[in-house]
Structure 1
Amino acid sequence: MVRKRTFDREGHAHFVTFSCDRRHRLLDHDRAKQVVLGVLNSQLSRQDGRCVGFVVVPDHVHAIVWFPRPDQISHFMTQWKQRRSVQIRRLVRCCLLGYAGTIDLTQPVWQAGSNEFNLFTERKTEEKLISMHLNPVRAGLVERPCDWPWSSARSYETGRSVGVPVAWPC
């Protein structure tokens, strides 16, 4: 099997994707999406990172992140996934009892690993940003990317806050 290498010393943005275990729709509820974005925001702040863009749909997450210092992406992904797992489990157990009965909470929240790769050019960064913003449209959740409240598309189109500061890498 060919293993894709992620380079984390050159100052490139990183496109990251991860999915809920067995594609369960654990992010169907707005409060679960808020957890994902809250942890994204706090982890970026802890590591002085920037979010170029993101989208959270019911069964997976995409983000483009950038860090000013080398060797940050691995720690970022580990922390983001671990902290969200704990909070999402807690949310489902205490607040979404009907949903909790439909899934096995002893199973992992996320599929093992994540898909991440470098975005070496501004053109590729723009391409991935547009593609991920179209995810809710392709899934039939909204008609236009800026209509999905769990995405940075609205920030790019209207300049309105989306809860996570969005900024282009330096």
Structure 2
Amino acid sequence: MSRKYKIRDQDKFYFVTFTIVEWIDLFTRQEYRDIFIDSLKYCQENKGLDIAAFCIMSSHIHLILGRNRDQKLEEIIRDLKKFTSIKFLKAIETLAEESRKNWLLYHFRMAGKTNPNNLNYQIWQQHNHPIELNTQDRIRRCLNYIHQNPVVAGLVLSPEEYLYSSAKNYAGHPDRLIDVILIDS
């Protein structure tokens, strides 16, 4: 892996992207989005995860993350992805209205077979491509990119209309899914 994509300074914020294998649209169902949101909240409360921005799209999630305790950021990310993978698989298997159950399990099983780090299934792509946010310009560009994602995708007209994003937090709306640390851009 290139040095460009490593978490070197544990005291900085990083822009990361979590992507579902094969860019599968897993987050079209609220249940899966809610599993991820609940897991983020758990990591905030119990693992020292700082979240400055997020946006959950259908096949990927953009985040700006940091940490405020001793656990390394890459360890928190690893634990978050592992835990959500297990929860997603259980939900896929038990959710009565999941019409894509067999299809999803097949693709996640095939992805798992090609990766020696997995026993059976793989849901997340392994890389996160962390980009250190070490300048105001980089912070501004990443915040804008994250919040404009649903607008560019044609899902909403303005960023703060999108429920699964921190754009509401930055716009000062009281109805938001998760608390974030507002960073200056």
| Structure 2 partner of 1:141 | 155
Match of 2:132 among 118, 139, 146: 118
Q: Distance in 2 between matches of 1:16 and 1:127?
A: 13
- Please identify which structure carries the higher helix content: 2
Q: Which has the higher contact order (CA 8 A, sep 6+)?
A: 1
Q: Deviations over 1:101-154 (max 9, x none)?
A: 332142411112221121012332222111111111111222211111100001
Q: How many residues align?
A: 169
Unaligned runs of 5+ in 2: 112-121
Contact kept, 8 Å, 1:47 with 1:72, in 2: the verdict is no
Deviation at 1:71, TM superposition (A): 5.7
**2:172 corresponding residue in structure 1:** 158
CA gap 1:70/1:125 in 2 versus in 1, 3 angstroms = farther
Q: TM-score w.r.t. structure 1 length?
A: 0.89
Indicate the larger mover: 154-163 or 85-94. 154-163
Return structure 1 stretches of 4+ with deviation > 6 angstroms.
Answer: none
Question: Can you list the C-alpha shifts for 1:26-55, whole angstroms capped at 9, x where unaligned?
Answer: 111111111111111111222223211100
Looking at structure 2, the residues matched to 49 and 129 of structure 1 have their Cα atoms a distance apart, in angstroms, of 18
For the Cα contact (< 8 Å) 1:52–1:64, is it kept in 2?
Answer: yes
User: TM-score under structure 2 normalisation?
Assistant: 0.82
Which amino acid is 1:99 matched to?
R
- Aligned residues of 1:6 and 1:116 also touching (Cα < 8 A): yes
Between 120-129 and 47-56, report the one with greater CA deviation: 120-129
- Gaps of at least 5 residues in structure 1 are none
- Asked if structure 1 preserves the Cα contact closer than 8 Å seen for 2:48 and 2:71, the reply is no
User: 2:132, 2:177 → 1: CA distance?
Assistant: 25
Q: How far apart, in 2, do the equivalents of 1:62 and 1:6 lie? A: 16
CA distance in 1, matches of 2:45, 2:183: 15
Greater mean alpha carbon deviation, residues 29-38 or residues 152-161? 152-161
Alpha-carbon spacing, 1:118–1:70, altered in 2? closer, same or farther (3 Å): farther
